[in-house]
Amino acid sequence: MGKKKKIREEFEEIFKQGDEDAIKKMLEKYPWLLSEMETTMDEGMEEQNQIIAALGVMEDERGGPVPIDEVIFSLRTDFNNKKEESEVLDILKHVETLNLVKRKSNGWVLTSEGGKVCDDFLNKNLEKFDLQ
């Protein structure tokens, strides 16, 4: 097990550097890295999409921009996910660079692409959550 941990750490370092040739070589040599990486990315996307969905739920309810505290409230009450404000804010800033949300002076709103992500997430996970 210690060997895999060392390989993971080496891969993470190469990945952070963005050396595509080295990344390809490691993935060819250790194909299990790719499935681990995909799993990690899927988990990150799930969390990101859940925050987008919480924003969408509150935006529908408010009819306009949503303050961060209400996104956090929706995450907690509608999605049973307790997140710190800093975590939610970091993810919102990240998805803003992907043009999924926009920051307004009085809160956050979904873009049309963000609305699609929200709808897809809610449609796929509707039975898991108790949306009021």
**Structural tokens at position 1:** 């097990």
* pLDDT of 87 strictly over 80: yes
Beta pairing partners, 102: 109
Assign 103 to helix, strand or coil: strand
Has this prediction a pTM greater than 0.95? no
Reference 88, options 104, 106, 105, 67; nearest CA is 67
Q: What is the pLDDT of residues 40-71, one digit of tens each?
A: 666 668 889 999 999 999 999 999 999 999 99
| CA atoms in the 13 A half-sphere facing the CB of 65 | 10
